[in-house]
Structure 1
Amino acid sequence: MPALTVDSPVGALTITETDGAITALTWGGQGADDTPLLRRAAAQLAAYFAGERGDFDLPLKVHGSDSQIRICAAIAAIPFGETRTYGELSRGLDLPAQAVGRGCGGNPIPILIPCHRVLGAQGLGGFSGGTGIETKIWLLKHEGAGGLLI
């Protein structure tokens, strides 16, 4: 599977491509593959971090259970700069909020599928990428949703 590692304000990110779709984004790594899709993903991430882009136009493929795929699709539909709670997503998906939380934690393509935009009813909730909650706060503030954190 081709992979490309790029620098970002939230650490090195490795983008993985499988069969013409982005299938993973992880922190760290050493990918140095050069494919048109990986270059396009890297350029869109650079534009996002530069404040020039609010959404992504990339083929994404989530591998997992039907619930995981549905949860990631609901997360991907949250607009730039907005947030939803686990409970709000759970009602729309007819799944328990805990299942939505597990689905967020199992999101294989964070940032591109913006699980950082999902909050707990009483606050931030968790975040499994980067340095954890600090990375989530950075991403939310970057998107202008930081006022929700205070």
Structure 2
Amino acid sequence: MITYNTINSPIGKLGIETKSNALTKIEFLDTNVVTTLQTNPLITNITKQLEQYFTNPKYKFDLSLNPQGTKFQKRVWKILRNIPSGSVETYGELAKRLNTSPRAIGNACRHNPIPIIIPCHRVIAKKSLGGYDGKQSGKLMDIKKWLLKHEMSLHNINFHSKA
């Protein structure tokens, strides 16, 4: 059974979707979106853990996830979960680890159905923040910047090219 709920957060309204006993999707919603809310113990747990993260950016999520994607995307998403809060990696660094291209890493990040918990916001370009959910500016990039500032990693990013 698919269950859907929304929560308010410091970065706006989030849509949470679960199926069976796993989280399948988190969406960034417009504030005017009206939804029919459902709840169950899993939704309650996800909500509490997200609230913990927004209070303490070092909080480690302990949730069953079931993101829908290709084998490659799931491989990338698994590695993203190992990037600690307060740290970033570049698309190029991840590409080398997975023997693929930075563009392939970016595409996997773009299709990440569970942002925040699968922290694609911690992946940046060599000389910029890169994109977020396929966008280079606007609300979604503001969310990426907020998340990085919240985790304090935005203050530690140095975009000077290495000679």
TM range (shorter): over 0.9
Q: Distance in 2 between matches of 1:31 and 1:113?
A: 25
- TM-aligned CA distance change 1:47 to 1:65, over 3 Å: same
Q: Which residue of 2 aligns with 1:19?
A: 20
Partner amino acid, structure 2, of 1:6: I
Taking structure 2 as the reference length, what is the TM-score of the superposition? 0.86
1:63 is aligned to 2:48: no
SS at match of 2:9: coil
CA contact (8 A) 2:7 2:13 kept: yes
Give every structure 1 segment of 4 or more consecutive aligned residues whose post-TM-superposition deviation is greater than 4 Å. none
Query: Which one of 31, 40, 50 corresponds to residue 45 of structure 1?
Result: 50
Structure 1: distance between partners of 2:57 and 2:10: 14
Supply the RMSD in Å over aligned alpha carbons: 1.7
**Is 1:72 matched up with 2:77?**
yes
Q: Normalising by the residue count of structure 1, what TM-score does the alignment of the two structures yield? A: 0.93
What is the CA–CA distance in structure 2 between the aligned matches of 1:86 and 1:113, rounded to whole Å? 15
Deviation at 1:134, TM superposition (A): 0.9
* Secondary structure at 1:7 match in 2: strand
**Cα contact 2:57–2:150 (8 A) shared by 1:** no
Contiguous gaps of at least 5 residues in structure 1: none
- Structure 2: 5+ residue stretches without partners: 159-163
Establish whether residue 135 from structure 1 lines up as the match of residue 143 from structure 2: yes
How many correspondences in the alignment? 150
Q: How far, CA to CA, are the matches of 2:145 and 2:93 in structure 1? A: 20
What fraction of aligned residue pairs are identical, expressed as a percent? Answer: 37
Cα distance in 1 for residues equivalent to 2:60 and 2:88:
14
Separation in 2 of the partners of 1:34 and 1:148?
A: 39
Matched, 1:111 2:116: yes
- What amino acid is aligned across from residue 91 of structure 1 in structure 2? K
Equivalent in the alignment of 1:7: 8
| In structure 2, distance between residues paired with 1:13 and 1:31 | 13
The structure with the larger Rg is 2
Q: Distance in 2 between matches of 1:149 and 1:133?
A: 16
Is 2:151 aligned against 1:147? no
